[in-house]
Structure 1
Amino acid sequence: MTNRDRLLGLTVVLLWGLNFLAIRVGLNHFPPFFFAALRFAVLAVPALLFIPRPRIRVRWIMLYGIGFGILQFAFLFTAMRVGMPTGLASLVLQSSAPFTVLLGALFLRERIRPVQTAGIAVAVAGMAVIGWDRLEHATLLPVLLTLAGGLGWAFGNIGARLAGTESPGVNPLHLMLWTTAVPPLPMFALSAFAEGPTTGLRALADSFSVAGLPALVALSYIAVLATVVGTGLWTYLMGRYPAGMVAPFSLLVPVVGIAAAWVFLGEVPTPLSLVGGGVVIAGAFAATSNKPRTAEEHAAVVAPSPTAVLVASGRPAAGRAGALASRGRPDPGSKS
């Protein structure tokens, strides 16, 4: 991964870490399912009207939208509404990292090494510590709901990865914006059924007041900065690199989320939760780590192939290698 793309990953970390503060502010005003639908609806309408549909199969857009949009936020918002602390939610949601590795191995045939298996086991142990601590202080249900949200996020990651693999040149921002069209209708329907047909509408009307202004600011932050910018960058990285290489960035989000909740909301995490969180991050880091390149592999990456030289000079490359290079894909027979 290039240094530029690492900086993009850290930008996502900052935007998503502060996003949990915005979620807390929004949930103090909106019911969770309606709030989840609203955050995507404000983007879906202009996306469908003005953004051309990416040239990928609809199934990958649906998988991305259902996993990242519906499952993740339906469970996460509900968990935070029923008592999940803001900072702890940012931590437990990072269970998506080991979930992504497991789903990548299952559906994308990405190889899991022994150290990754051990890392997943350590991360699970850390989650058990957090669950035990929550049982001591409150209830386990919010933790389980947040874990379900992490699994939903992992399915969304797989959808983004498949979309990027199928069409390497796909515009990541266009892909992300089109996925926002998936959650609104199901989430509005769920809100009407579970929260009442007029509850969300009344909350929306009340938000256009001095008292409701923080909720509108929170909605704007979530929609524009966290979703358009943050998720757009994340989609770009997921389409460019293996899922296991990108997922570790999400492990830094709790550092920002817990610190922000501590400073702005006065949420002081318990020592046992911090210990469990450290175990989770260590295990998830191991689960999503990549094997260092050998000297031969490094040389193959640094040294341009003859095909790449031909393409760079403007001369056509012959055969299968030329066709693949013209699409930005390496020849399977080359060491790159």
Structure 2
Amino acid sequence: MTNTTADDRQTPPHLSGKVSDMPSTTTTTPPGAPAPPVAHRLLVPAAAAVTVVLWGSAFIGIRSAGFDYSPGALALGRILVGTITLTVMAALARKLRLPRGRTLAGVIVWGVLWFGLYNLALNAAERTLDAGTASLLVGLAPILIAVFAGISLGEGFPARLLVGIGIAFAGVAGIALATSSGASSGVSVVLGLAAAVVYAGSTILQKRLLPQVDSLTMTWLGCLAGTVACLPFTPVLLDELAVAPTSATLSVIYLGVFPTAIAFATWGFALTRTTAGRLGAATYAAAPLAVLMSWALLGEVPTPVALIGGTLCLAGVLVATLRLR
């Protein structure tokens, strides 16, 4: 049974023929009616900000857990914790209702790709991929999202979006240059590229499905589908859990609760109410945040090039996502 919520009543951009330049709710204010409260208008940017901050922190968590958990075990442990957390969130919100037919099949496919395949590819790539190359490859995803959304969702190619993405990607390239150690292998680069493609494709698929299913329900079911797909890694997870230090296991739990459950829930909420291209561009802010968090939490002092790159990332996000008044 499909929920009937504000998420469901959204008109997809590729059907409406017109996309707003700014994240906004899908409801419109009738002539003469009072404008929505300021707090309501700030919900979408606030949700996007939560996603970006938590995804930025994920780099720290992956680095902390990645030495003691293999790619498959880390992916399963993270999304298993995420599924448990999302089940509680969906139950409290009374969203534990299944869509039907093609919508349910689409959500399952999306979950296997986004939560399962993406995590596996990225975890495997980062075993031998240096931080700079990893950030550069993942930084391709928002560009692909903008291209895919412009073609398949009818979002077009707004000049400010393209300019902002270009500026932000230049910033990612600067961070990559500053953090690269030259330790990347060809296989890892291919896996990193695959992760970026899955990231972009999953975003477009999610945007298409959101008019038919509530965003929290979709996130919960998708994470559950990804968990089921990763169950073959259960023996490895149990073996590594028995010998891993407490700090690594706590990092896995953190990754599951915050960058997975909460961040993907706020991502879905924001994606329902804005364009895929602009929300994808906003995620460029995660790169400089990761640099600052590494500096604060791990004592990894960023180079001047990395700081300049981070500044460019933030400038590009502002150009791409904010509407001139």
* TM-score of the pair, normalised by structure 2: 0.70
1:257-276 correspondence runs (5 A): 257-275=290-308
Return closer, same or farther for 1:270/1:70 CA change in 2, 3 Å cut-off: farther
Q: Which amino acid aligns with 2:226?
A: P
In structure 2, the partner of 1:7 is: 46
Decide which of 130, 138, 141 is 2:182's aligned counterpart.
138
Does residue 1:33 correspond to 2:72, yes or no?
A: yes
Most deviating of 104-113 and 144-153: 144-153
1:127–1:179 Cα change, 3 Å: same
The answer on 1:97 being equivalent to 2:136 is no
Q: Which amino acid aligns with 1:265?
A: L
- Measured after TM superposition, the shift of residue 203 of structure 1 is 0.1
Is 2:93 the partner of 1:52?
A: no
Seen in structure 2, the aligned counterparts of structure 1 residues 77 and 206 have a Cα distance that, compared at 3 Å, is same
Contact 1:125 1:280 in 2 (8 A): yes
Q: Which runs of 5+ in 1 are unaligned?
A: 192-196, 294-336
How many Å separate the matches in 2 of 1:80 and 1:44?
A: 23
- The answer to whether residue 242 in structure 2 is matched with residue 187 in structure 1 is no
* 1:221-260 correspondence to structure 2 within 5 Å: 221-260=254-293
Q: CA deviation at 1:133?
A: 6.3
Q: One-letter code of the match for 1:21?
A: I
- How many angstroms apart in 2 are the aligned matches of 1:282 and 1:72? 28
- The aligned counterpart of 1:200 is 237
**Count of aligned pairs:** 277
**Residues 21, 120 of structure 1: alpha-carbon distance in 2 compared, 3 angstrom cutoff:** closer
> Which SS does the other structure have where 2:98 is aligned?
coil
Q: For the Cα contact (< 8 Å) 2:145–2:200, is it kept in 1?
A: yes
Q: Using the TM superposition, name which of 228-237 and 216-225 deviates more.
A: 216-225
Once the two structures are superposed, the pairs formed by residues 73-152 of structure 1 within 5 Å of their partners are: 73-85=119-131, 89=134, 93-118=138-163, 137-141=181-185, 145-152=191-198
Which residue is equivalent to 1:304?
none
> Once the 2 structures are TM-superposed, how far is the Cα of residue 23 of structure 1 from its aligned partner?
1.6
State the AA in 2 paired with 1:264.
Answer: L
Residues 290 and 47 of structure 1: CA distance in aligned 2, closer, same or farther (over 3 Å): same
Deviation at 1:162, TM superposition (A): 1.2
Q: Which residue identity lines up with residue 242 of structure 2 in the other structure?
A: A
Structure 2, unmatched stretches of 5+, are 1-23, 25-40
Once the two structures are TM-superposed, the CA of residue 91 in structure 1 deviates from its matched residue by 6.7
What are the Cα deviations for residues 119-148 of structure 1, in whole angstroms up to 9, with x where unaligned?
55556666666666677x323445664443
Task: Give the deviation of 1:289 after TM superposition.
Answer: 4.2
Letter of the structure 1 residue corresponding to residue 239 of structure 2:
R
Matches within 5 A, 1:269-284: 269-275=302-308
- Give the CA RMSD over aligned residues: 3.5
Residues 197-225 of structure 1: CA distance to partner in whole angstroms, max 9, x if unpaired? 95433102224xxxx21122112211112
In structure 2, how many angstroms separate the alpha carbons of the residues matched to 1:115 and 1:5? 20
What amino acid is the match of 1:52?
Answer: R
1:245 positional shift:
3.1
Residues 231, 108 of structure 1: alpha-carbon distance in 2 compared, 3 angstrom cutoff: same
Q: Residue by residue, what CA displacement relative to the aligned partner does 1:171-202 show, whole Å, maximum 9, x if unpaired?
A: 3222101001222344344x5xxxxx954331
Shift of 1:158: 1.3
State whether residues 245 and 289 of structure 1, in contact with CA within 8 Å, keep that contact through their aligned partners in structure 2: yes
**Retained in 2: the 8 A contact 1:62–1:179?**
yes
Q: Specify the code of the residue in structure 1 equivalent to 2:247.
A: P
Quick one: which amino acid aligns to residue 256 of structure 2?
A: A
Greater RCO structure (CA 8 Å; 6+ sep):
2
Larger radius of gyration: 1
Partner of 2:218: 175
TM-score (norm 1): 0.68
CA distance in 1, matches of 2:119, 2:195: 6
**Structure 1 pair 184/8, CA: closer, same or farther in 2 (3 Å)?**
closer
Q: Distance in 1 between matches of 2:266 and 2:284?
A: 16
